[in-house]
Structure formats: C-alpha cells, structure tokens
Amino acid sequence: MSETTSPRIVIVGAGPAGIGAAATLVEAGLHPVVIDEAHRAGGQIYRRPPAGFVRTPEQLYGSEAAKARALHTLFDRLAEDGLLTHCAGSSVIAVHAGRLHVLGEGGVQVIGYDSLILATGASDRIAPVPGWQNAGVFSLGAAQIALKAQGVALGRRIVLIGSGPLLTLVGTQLVEAGADVAAVLDTSSWYQQMRGFSGLAARPVVALRGLALRARLGRRYHAGVTPERIEVDEQGVAALRWRDAGGRQRLTPCDMVGMGWHLRAETHLADLAGCAFIYDMQWQQWLPKTDEMGRAGNGVYLAGDGVRILGADGAEIAGRLAAAACLADLGYQPPSAGADLRKLARLERFACGLARAFPFPAAMVRTLPGDAIVCRCENVTAAAVREGADFGGSEANRVKSLSRAGMGRCQGRFCQLAAVELVAAQAGCAPDVVGRFRGQAPVRPAPVGAFLRED
Ligand SMILES: Cc1cc2nc3c(=O)[nH]c(=O)nc-3n(C[C@H](O)[C@H](O)[C@H](O)COP(=O)(O)OP(=O)(O)OC[C@H]3O[C@@H](n4cnc5c(N)ncnc54)[C@H](O)[C@@H]3O)c2cc1C
C-alpha cells in the first residue's frame, strides 16, 4: 500500500498497551497517531515525572525499572525517528462517526480514523465510606501519582483503606519514601484472600513479591476490617473509625485517607465508539465485549486495562494483539499471535485470582447509612439513590436522572458501581439487572471556549 493510501490508525493511550500496539504497527510499516493526555508516554505504572526531576527508574519503579526504561526508550525512539505522531497533553473527549474530538492546548480539534485502538487503562475502583467527601480523602491512585510524579506524600499521617494489590503497593511505597503510614486496612478477610489462591499460583513470583511487600507493612496491615466513618474537624480529615476482623471498634487519627478497591476499566470512549458491553461476574463490573484479539467491531480495537485488568505485562501483550488484529483486518500480514495468546491466558488466570481475593465490598455499600454521600461530584446521598430506585424502578439511567448520581464531572467513574449496588439492594435484584450508566460526551470536563473557532 502506498504512503498516500495508508490507513489512518489512531491509538488512544500511551501506556504499555498503547506502546505495544504502536510498536507493532510501526514494525509493519504503518505510521500511527498516538494520543495521550499525559505529557510523557508511559501510562499509569510507568508514569514519568516531569523533565528535570532526578529520581532514577529504580527509585520510581522498583522491581519494574528495567521494563519501564525499555518501554520509554522504545516509544521515544519511534517518536524521535518520526515513525509515529505523538499528540501529548491531549484528551479525547468524544468519539462520533469515525472521528475523535481531541481537547488540547489550542482547543478542540477533530481527528478522523479508519481504525481506532483504545488503550485507555483503568482508574481506582471506589466504594463510598461516610465522610469521604471531605478534604484530605484521595484515591490510592492519586496518592501514588503524587508520589511518583512529584515525590510528594499527600498527608502527614496517612491511613489507607480498600483492597487489592495497589493497597499494599502504595502503602509500601509511602513507607519507603519516609511517609508516616498509620494503618493499611484491607476489607478482604484472610479467608477471602485464600479463595484467590489457585489463580494467584499462575504467577508465583509475582504473588510472592506481593506477600513480601505486605510483610514490610508489618503491624500496620489489618485484614477483614470494616471502615465506618471518616471523622473530620475544621481542617478536614481527623481520624478513621473502623472495626477490626474481631468486630472491635478502633479509631486511628490521621490527616489523610487514601482509598481504593482494586481497579475498574476505563470504558467511556469504548461506550461512545458503540462497543457492546457485558456484565462480568468475576470483576463485578460492565466490560466491553471483544474477541480474544481485542476486536470490538467497526474498526475499533480494545487493549489493556480498559478491557480487563491484567496488569502491565498483559496490557503490553494485548496492545500487540490488537494491532495484529487491526493489521489483519486491513489486509496486512500480521505477526504471529500464538505465543502472546498463551501468555495472556496465564495472566488472565492470575487476574481472576486477584478478583476473587480482593472483591468490591458490595455488602458494605448496600448497608451505607442514608446520609452517606455516594456521588461526590453532585453531592448525592445514599438515601437519594434509594429514593430514586423506589420512584423510578431498578434501571440505572432512570435512577441517574432522578437522583443526579453520576452526572458530575467524573461521569460516574467513582460512584457508578456503588450507586448500582444500592439500587440493586433496594429493588431486590442483582447489579447486572440494574444496568450501567450510559457514557456521555465530553468524557473529560471541557471549557465551552475550547469548542469555539474563529473561522
Ligand atoms: C492509579 C493506578 C495506579 C497503578 N499503579 C500500579 C503499580 O504501581 N504497579 C503495577 O504493577 N500496576 C499498577 N497499576 C496497574 C497498571 O498501571 C496497569 O496494569 C497498566 O499500566 C495498564 O496499561 P494500559 O496501557 O492498559 O493503561 P495505562 O498504563 O493506564 O495507560 C492508559 C493511558 O491512556 C491515557 N488516557 C486514558 N483516557 C484518555 C483520554 N480520554 N484521552 C487521552 N488519553 C487517555 C492515560 O493518560 C494513560 O496514559 C495502576 C493502575 C492505576 C489505575
């Protein structure tokens, strides 16, 4: 195919999945456009600090430093050699009729595509705890980003609550950076964690590394806890009230709470691109439907944590596979996929183990007191969501329009799972019956002025 007839392939996301896809396409002689809202490629796990910061990859990424360095070098080389176009600092805010609406410094521009690879990653999976709307409460991801990108601990005395690998990891990273971490509270009990054992055995080295990190937390770590309330004073967070596994009430003074229950796939753009979704019982969330290569139909391909939370290695492989599918569909010779598919199956077994060991705390959410805020953007309480379900029935979007839960700037990223659990409990049905909030453009807050053009 000559250069003038080269297909326009756009990749959204320059994390391991996006970089894996870009490298595969360049290898086949194509020139993809890679769009990412971060200023430097690397994605979430390999997030780079601003230019001029001096911490080494070993200090930033620990055991993953060599992989981070290799991926950064690969992407920078492809960009410097002009083999791909990198639109950094640009957010894709809408997908419509084969075109992306991209918000950058100069406003919104429209970029057409023939094939679209979405590698948009994940974000924290959050469950509301009474008091979480106050100053001093962050997601675990935010705490880690502040630490990785800026070398900052977000509090003087920190309590982390949630479940999943990120809980242990952020706890250890903060401790090693010298922060005062008072407690790391896991809502998953030891018994629950053992239930994931057979899956976790698919990657014994990674599982052991996780246990070693856990050991470094020492007596700060507690399993099987129930968070009750984040207490505040005029400055913001003052303490966390919780019950331990034995049911004893505890109060831990702190000025920062970090919270997160593993991760949720970032699927807004897939929704706008018209992908079909299916409720995944294992992950307790709605996920876009693809074939094993990442094909979602109509020239759209999905890869990485935005489809399934398989971690950085899985994301890189999924990126390569999505690019291979795209090449095959466009009539190019794709690289062989057999070995990558086998590796992905092993990573999938491990990820299922994690999902079983560290579940979303649905029972805790279902019993939230009525005055607990569920949607932080719009200040919607658990009582208002329950009233919406009583009045409008058990359909997620009906309850959304009645209560305004999920209508704010985060577009339901942080409240959707909890709101759906509450509606399901109120209506006496399963969360998949309730459905999911429909994605709406713009998926990121965008100033009206960005849409205005002089011509
Ligand atoms: C907060 C957080 C912290 C994590 N920390 C760790 C860790 O310490 N160790 C670990 O092993 N794993 C960690 N993970 C998981 C790990 O980051 C992922 O498994 C891996 O990075 C997945 O790669 P990916 O390419 O699918 O997505 P990501 O690496 O997340 O990359 C997605 C990219 O898409 C971009 N993007 C998303 N939406 C848009 C949009 N609308 N417009 C433009 N760009 C967009 C993002 O800026 C990002 O760069 C973390 C995940 C999260 C969410």
The 10s digit of each residue's pLDDT in 351-379 is 999 999 999 999 999 999 999 999 999 99
Instruction: Provide the residue range defining the domain that includes 414.
Output: 363-434
The pLDDT value given to residue 2: 42
451 in a structural domain: no
440 in a structural domain: no
Averaged pLDDT for residues 388-402 = 92
Asked whether residue 325 falls in the same domain as residue 375, the answer is: no
185 in a structural domain: yes
Give, using CA atoms, the residue closest to atom 7 of ligand 1: 45
Whether pTM > 0.85 for this model: the answer is: yes
Q: What is the pLDDT of residues 288-342, one digit of tens each?
A: 999 999 999 999 999 999 999 999 999 999 999 999 999 999 999 999 999 999 9
Asked whether residue 117 falls in the same domain as residue 132, the answer is: no
pLDDT at 53 over 90: no
358 in a structural domain: no
Find the CATH number of the domain harbouring 378.
1.10.10.1100
Find the CATH number of the domain harbouring 290.
3.50.50.60
Distance 250 CA to ligand 1 centre (A): 34
Asked whether residue 153 falls in the same domain as residue 174, the answer is: yes
Asked whether residue 72 falls in the same domain as residue 31, the answer is: yes
Asked whether residue 130 falls in the same domain as residue 256, the answer is: yes
Upstream peptide bond of 57 is cis (omega within 30 degrees of 0): no
Asked whether residue 222 falls in the same domain as residue 268, the answer is: no
* Mean pLDDT, the chain, integer: 93
454 in a structural domain: no
200 in a structural domain: yes
Distance 384 CA to ligand 1 centre (A): 33
pLDDT at 124 over 70: yes
398 in a structural domain: yes
Give, using CA atoms, the residue closest to atom 1 of ligand 1: 141
User: Which residue, 353, 383, 405, sits at the end of a domain?
Assistant: 353
Q: Is 15 in the pocket of ligand 1 (CB under 6 A)?
A: yes
Q: What is the pLDDT of residues 191-238, one digit of tens each?
A: 999 998 888 888 899 899 999 999 999 999 999 999 999 999 999 999
Place of tokens 């593993």: 262
The pLDDT value given to residue 270: 97
449 in a structural domain: no
Asked whether residue 250 falls in the same domain as residue 284, the answer is: no
Asked whether residue 168 falls in the same domain as residue 271, the answer is: no
Q: What is the pLDDT of residues 235-285, one digit of tens each?
A: 999 999 999 999 999 999 999 999 999 999 999 999 999 999 999 988 888
Distance 96 CA to ligand 1 centre (A): 24
Residue 335 · residue 324 · CB < 8 Å: yes
Asked whether residue 257 falls in the same domain as residue 270, the answer is: no
With bands split at pLDDT 50, 70 and 90, how would you rate the model's confidence at 148?
Answer: confident
Asked whether residue 255 falls in the same domain as residue 131, the answer is: yes
The pLDDT value given to residue 91: 97
Asked whether residue 144 falls in the same domain as residue 119, the answer is: no
Q: How far is 349 from 190, CA to CA, in rounded Å?
A: 20
The pLDDT value given to residue 455: 58
Q: Is 16 in the pocket of ligand 1 (CB under 6 A)?
A: yes
Question: How many domains does the structure of the chain reveal?
Answer: 3
pLDDT at 163 over 50: yes
Give, using CA atoms, the residue closest to atom 51 of ligand 1: 44
